[in-house]
Structure 1
Amino acid sequence: MDQSFLIMLSNLLHLQNQLDPTTSILSDSSTSATSATPSSLLTSTSAAPLLFFTIASVLSYISTTRKPRSSPSPPPSPSTTSQYSVAAFRALSTERIWAMEAPLRDAQWRSMYGLSYPVFTTVVDKLKPYIAQSNLSLPSDYAVAMVLSRLSLGLSAKTVAKRYSLEPYLVSKITNMVTRLLSTKLYPEFIKIPAGRRRLQETTASFAEITSLPNICGAIDNTHIRLHSLPSNLPNPSIYTNSHGFRSIQLQVVADHKKIFWDVCVKAPGAFDDATHFRDSLLYNRLISGDIVWEKVVNVKGHPVRPYIVGDWCYPLLSFLLTPFSWNRTGNPAQNTFDEGLMKGRKVVEEAIGLLKGRWRILQDMNVGLNHAPQTIVACCVLHNLCQIAREPEPEVWKEPEESGGVARVLESENYYYNFGESLRQVLADDLYQRLSSR
């Protein structure tokens, strides 16, 4: 029973003493007592106790049944309740992270952000000057961490917003800003054609070990990035439906022996074929125009061989892009041997794409707006290269659908490059078959 109820009970007792005339009747003179009639005496001696006990019973019932009042507590602060809050992130990254053993620390960081803590700090340091110019209300490292968690886990803006106690529009805004910076400011530093003598020599020598073919400087391939949704007002949505039956945009990459991309292109919707996408790329136009000329030349049976890239039958055979003689080993022994070696080199880019999609799972189901999809894809390629350069542990490889494209036709404007590539391919096939047969 609380204090207020006891006070109320005391007041009622005092009131009862004032209302009950029994005490005064007993102490008055006999004349006062005999002047009262029995009925008036009954009323004066019983009404007050009845009133008292009635009120006391009601108050006692209320006192025992009501819930105790508690002062309203303020709503919990996101910074104290969410493990993804700025405060929690700060505590982990500045106080605990360097106290942890490196393998445990980096494993924890990879599970949340897709890369180890040292690589994460590298990304933050390179982006921080640009993020600072945007007057973002969040710390740079927190903003980058939030975007990396979205890219690596494939989360939607709404899910990330709930996790980080932010508004979805702000998550989208920060995602667009960080991916734009990655795809523009960091692209030239981490995605570069192997033009230097040392890097080119290392690349061609490594491919020669894999394929037994000389002067390969890269392998090209195309992959479909599934789109989660398309704008409702898109004029011709059917061009995004690919041969596998889902909507996508295409990513074309060229990778070296370390599965590092040295060229990236995102231009074509899903319904376009690989050759069309290739011809629309900056790389194709630079190679056709002679803007890219690798000086390293090797002599094979009196034939000068400059560095070239390799691709499957979905690409046109050109002087700088060699493809298999056939897709089902229907050539002669020399041609089949060449095809086998070439496909070993091409497997490098297949694995690179598998690692890309395995590490940055947003590429398995692109849940950003169509206008921002290309820069998000390129940003993931930049991050992929950072991880490969840093020799990050490779995740489980994403398995691509089987190739279903037909053999690429050669355009009339490409006849010169085709004829040169055809003779080059045959020379390389004869030389390879001769070398392997003589062992």
Structure 2
Amino acid sequence: MQQINWYTAMALSRLQDFEDRRNRINRFSIRKLQDMSNPFESFSEYQFQARFRLSKEGVIFVAALIKPKIVSPLKRGAQIPAFMQLLVALRFYSAGTFQIQIGDLTNLSQGTISKIVKRVSHALASLKPQFIRYPTENEAVVIRQRFYDYGGFPGVIGAIDCTHVLIKSVGGPNAELFRDRKGNFSINVQLICTSDLKITNVVARWYGSCHDNRIFENSKICGQLERAEVPSVLLGDSGYGCTPFLLTPFSHPVTAAEKRYQSAQIKTRNPIERCNGVLKQRFNCLRYMRLKLRTCLTTIVACCVLHNIALLHRDNLQFEEEVDEDHEEDTVTPLSSSGIASRTRIVLSHFS
């Protein structure tokens, strides 16, 4: 009888120890564990930005802007909240992976992810007039000074270049138009930026085989510059024609003044090459897009809008200095007499 009581006491003691440990674990879980389904709670600010490429404040800001465009009354079924749609699209933009993999992370089908990306991209692209604007004359004063402080070239409003966004073959009789000089199918995207990498102009509708200078000559901003409707001067590489409002480097600088011009011109237009590199690091989907052509175009513009919003909200992500190499400096465009005269005046007045 005494032995039975001893076994019973031991069993009760172990049961009590188990209950104590379970209570401690439960208290720790309640205190420490977070809801992993809510990124705003489960991730720190840096972890959140690393996954979605915008700060938490930035996501709240963007979601409020696009909510009326992506949420509409449903006759049946459940509506996916605007925040969740935006986060799904941001994860796709930043990861640049297959939609089915994004669906596995969010418990959504590939078809639903495709619809969300298309819907959110169109909503973000519609914000282009608000966040991607060529500077006014008043704004140009500050931009000119910042460019001069950066590279020593006077009077610069923006640096211009094109970058290729790889896509899958569009098929059909016009497919080969999209094959660029490297043999890839791509969209040739024109960008103009300031010295702090803010995008002030984007043209995303030309096929990969199109030359940079042709895109510029057919763009709206070129006509505005020709008519002196907006501030100039832009800096570009030798793939562009030298004009009074778009200055290019010398093919072979000879004099000391020309060499100083060359050095300042190359350094001052460096931000556009950095901008192209940072844009593709921020949104890896721009390295290769598997979307339909129309959605590709709107997604490119959407990423440019998000890039400017990220700068506006001062995200703290650091990207490597990756210089984009999709330029056409090896193709020299014929120069106009007025462009040569303008370049010569700047050489004599500022670099002699």
TM bin, normalised by shorter chain, reads 0.7 to 0.9
Measured in 2, the distance between the counterparts of 1:342 and 1:157 equals 42
Q: 249, 262, 268: which one pairs with 1:324?
A: 249
> How many residue pairs align between the two structures?
313
Q: 325, 328, 333: which one pairs with 2:256?
A: 333
CA contact (8 A) 1:213 1:428 kept: no
Q: 81, 101, 116: which one pairs with 1:174?
A: 116
How far is the alpha carbon of 1:161 from its aligned partner? 2.1
Cα shift readout 1:385-430 (whole Å, capped 9, x = no counterpart): 11122222332344433644411135xxxxxxx3332222111112
CA contact (8 A) 2:224 2:230 kept: no
Residue number in structure 1 paired with 2:162: 222
Residue number in structure 2 paired with 1:107: 46
Look up the SS of the partner of 2:181 in the other structure: coil
Residue number in structure 1 paired with 2:13: none
Residue 398 to residue 214, structure 1, CA distance change in 2 (3 Å): closer
Query: What code does the residue aligned with 1:241 have?
Result: R
Residue number in structure 2 paired with 1:130: 69
Q: 403, 426, 436: which one pairs with 2:344?
A: 426
Residue number in structure 1 paired with 2:270: 347
Query: What code does the residue aligned with 1:168 have?
Result: Q
Residue number in structure 2 paired with 1:188: 129
Look up the SS of the partner of 1:262 in the other structure: strand
The TM-score with structure 2 as length reference comes to 0.83
Residue 335 to residue 92, structure 1, CA distance change in 2 (3 Å): closer
Query: What code does the residue aligned with 2:307 have?
Result: H
How far is the alpha carbon of 1:231 from its aligned partner? 3.3
How far is the alpha carbon of 1:177 from its aligned partner? 0.8
Look up the SS of the partner of 2:351 in the other structure: helix
Most deviating of 132-141 and 341-350: 132-141
Aligned ranges 1:223-238 → 2 under 5 Å: 223-227=163-167, 229-232=168-171, 234-238=172-176
Query: What code does the residue aligned with 1:113 have?
Result: F
Measured in 1, the distance between the counterparts of 2:263 and 2:81 equals 52
Structure of higher RCO (CA pairs closer than 8 Å, 6+ residues apart): 2
**1:276 correspondence with 2:211:** no
**1:381 correspondence with 2:304:** yes
Look up the SS of the partner of 2:44 in the other structure: helix
Unaligned runs of 5+ residues in structure 1 are 1-86, 98-103, 295-306, 411-417, 435-439
Residue 428 to residue 406, structure 1, CA distance change in 2 (3 Å): same
The TM-score with structure 1 as length reference comes to 0.68
How far is the alpha carbon of 1:134 from its aligned partner? 6.6
Q: 235, 249, 257: which one pairs with 2:195?
A: 257
4+ residue runs over 6 A deviation: none
Cα shift readout 1:203-242 (whole Å, capped 9, x = no counterpart): 0001111232221110001000011x2234x212221111
Q: 331, 338, 349: which one pairs with 1:406?
A: 331
Query: What code does the residue aligned with 1:221 have?
Result: D
**1:285 correspondence with 2:285:** no
**1:153 correspondence with 2:95:** yes
The alignment-based identity, stated in percent, is: 25
Unaligned runs of 5+ residues in structure 2 are 1-34
Most deviating of 247-256 and 279-288: 279-288
